[in-house]
Amino acid sequence: MEVCLLPAIVKNNKGGGALVLLIILLVAGAIYFLSILFKLALSRSREYMADAGAVELTRNSFGSGQRAEKDIRSFYHTGGSK
């Protein structure tokens, strides 16, 4: 008993290779597209984890920005030295 997962058109040797090639290209394109989406999702996840780690280290989500602003103002007010 022969089992074929492709349509009956493929069984005919007239142009069946083109259909198989088309199916392979469509599957490869879908896998490529999904891999790009996975890479973007992973990047976003890492960015959120880095932000969460920074907040955990500073214990204040706005503290590090305010401290940097104070340092910059101090630097320019004193002529370049703290």
DSSP codes of every residue in 13-68: SSSHHHHHHHHHHHHHHHHHHHHHHHHHHHHHHHHHHHHHHHHHHHSSTTHHHHHH
Q: What is the pTM of this model?
A: 0.47
What's the pLDDT score for residue 50? 85
The pLDDT tens digits of the residues spanning 8-53 come to 554 555 667 888 999 999 999 999 999 999 999 999 888 888 888 8
